[in-house]
Amino acid sequence: FLPFAVPSLPARYQPTTMSEAAAADADTTKVNLVSKEGDSFEVSAEVAKMSELVKTMMDEDGDDDDAVAEIPLPNVKASVLKKVIDFCEHHKAEPMTEIEKPLKSAVMSEVVQKWYADFVNVEQVLLFELILAANYMDIKPLLDLTCATVASMIKGKTPEEIRRTFNIANDFSPEEEAQVREENKWCEEA
């Protein structure tokens, strides 16, 4: 590849730079992400590389151009991996707006675009599995979105309401709870 244009050739025959060739290759390269159960999901390398874990594994795998790389993800269930892939594909097409901290609202549709708010409008179990997958796969935008969703579920609630929301047993005796409240009174004054 030449880093300059050859004037006598039409534009379509002009050599490309290495970075342009690599970008074009990334668009067509496919990767198989393999779930805990062994289910395989073929995705573009560009989408797969939203995960820092997958990106590192692909870089270590080398350049075997003929074979589609298989990336095992033993900590991610197939149903969760499918949602993660949906997120990554959508994020490539329409990046999520930056999530302001602290959250300006407990309503996610006021924090991010509608698609993203709908994406995290799921059962708590799935939401926590998405958090674990985003953390394991190192996908920052997904981790930010899912953690912000949990924060929105807590925002403005009393400790008792939070316990009910997340089904957490109160293991403090009334005396211990009073002591903790006294020690942390400054938090409620702010």
Q: Which of 113, 121, 120, 118 is nearest to 94 (CA)?
A: 113
Task: Read off the pTM.
Answer: 0.77
The mean pLDDT of 122-141, rounded to a whole number, is 97
Kindly report, residue by residue over 154-168, the tens digit of the pLDDT: 988 888 899 999 989
Give 150-176 as a 3 state SS string.
HHHHHCCCCHHHHHHHHCCCCCCCHHH
Report d(CA 104, CA 111) in Å as an integer.
7
- How many CB atoms lie under 10 A from the CB of residue 80? 19
Kindly report, residue by residue over 36-46, the tens digit of the pLDDT: 999 999 999 99
Report d(CA 73, CA 40) in Å as an integer.
10
Report d(CA 67, CA 154) in Å as an integer.
47
- Provide φ and ψ at 44, rounded to 5°: -70, 150
User: What type of residue is 117?
Assistant: A
Tell me 106's DSSP state.
S
Range from 109-118, 146-155, 157-166 carrying the lowest mean pLDDT:
157-166
Report d(CA 19, CA 48) in Å as an integer.
19
Q: Is 54 in contact with 26 (CB distance < 8 Å)?
A: no
Burial class for 126, CB neighbours closer than 10 Å (0-12, 13-18, 19+) = middle
